[in-house]
Amino acid sequence: MPDKSNPNKTANPWTVLSTQPIYQNRWIRVVEHDVLNPAGKPGIYGVVHMQHIATGVLPIDADGCTTLVGQYRFPLGVYSWEIPEGGGALDEDPLEAVQRELAEETGLMARRWHPLLRMHLSNSVTDEVAHCFLAWDLEQGIAEPEETEDLQVRRVPFREAYDMAMRGDITDAMAVASLMKARLLALDGKLPKDVTALILK
């Protein structure tokens, strides 16, 4: 028999009693909520509010290759291969933000763009939103990474990057999701024919 105690299962089951700011810098704002949990018992919930949107781009060149960016990720203590990624102001157009990041990290500019996906990253503790795009019809310029970015740039066939994600050699969420989504869309015939041919090359 269906549970009728809460007919609207998508409603917020948490009750916030009070909220206290804990820490803030240019990138994050941490708050702690005193709450009643879905069972009605008291507890706390810490939330990290991001001060920027996250952006990622999967560039595909005329040879069917993509460009990966490698960098040491301080929070994890590991080196990570990823798609070009960055961020933008909360009120900035994600496409404009990601175009800037692609040029800064790789020197690439793209004439064709396609939105791939919108993601919530680590949604149990943060409200971070990521916007990922597919880019092709590329032109190479000069990279100008930020001083905090010690990057390696690596050009690999799309299939090799996809296989790296499948093996777990790429673990970054935006990179994995973008590679999987692009291949599925290509296989389903839901991308422009020219970029589909490059992805499935």
3-state SS assignment for residue 28: strand
pLDDT for 140: 95
Q: How many Å apart are CA 171 and CA 133, to the nearest integer?
A: 18
| Residue 156: closest CA among 82, 78, 102, 87 | 82
- Domain housing 41: 15-50
Domain count, the chain: 2
Q: How many Å apart are CA 77 and CA 168, to the nearest integer?
A: 16
Q: How many Å apart are CA 156 and CA 181, to the nearest integer?
A: 18
pLDDT in 10s for each residue of the chain, 201 residues: 444 455 678 999 999 999 999 999 999 999 999 999 999 999 999 999 999 999 999 999 999 999 999 999 999 999 999 999 999 999 999 999 999 999 999 999 999 999 999 999 999 999 999 999 999 999 999 988 777 778 999 999 999 999 999 999 999 999 999 999 999 999 999 999 999 999 999
Based on the fold, state whether residues 73 and 132 are members of the same structural domain.
Answer: yes
pLDDT for 2: 45
3-state SS assignment for residue 173: helix
Based on the fold, state whether residues 114 and 193 are members of the same structural domain.
Answer: yes
Based on the fold, state whether residues 34 and 101 are members of the same structural domain.
Answer: no
Residue 18 CA, chain-centre distance (Å), reads: 31
Based on the fold, state whether residues 91 and 171 are members of the same structural domain.
Answer: yes
- Is the residue at 4 inside a domain? no
pLDDT for 1: 40
Q: What is the pTM of this model?
A: 0.92
Based on the fold, state whether residues 45 and 143 are members of the same structural domain.
Answer: no
Q: How many Å apart are CA 147 and CA 63, to the nearest integer?
A: 31
| Residue 136: closest CA among 56, 54, 65, 70 | 65
pLDDT for 143: 87
Based on the fold, state whether residues 67 and 41 are members of the same structural domain.
Answer: no
Q: How many Å apart are CA 181 and CA 159, to the nearest integer?
A: 13
- Is the residue at 159 inside a domain? yes
pLDDT for 9: 84
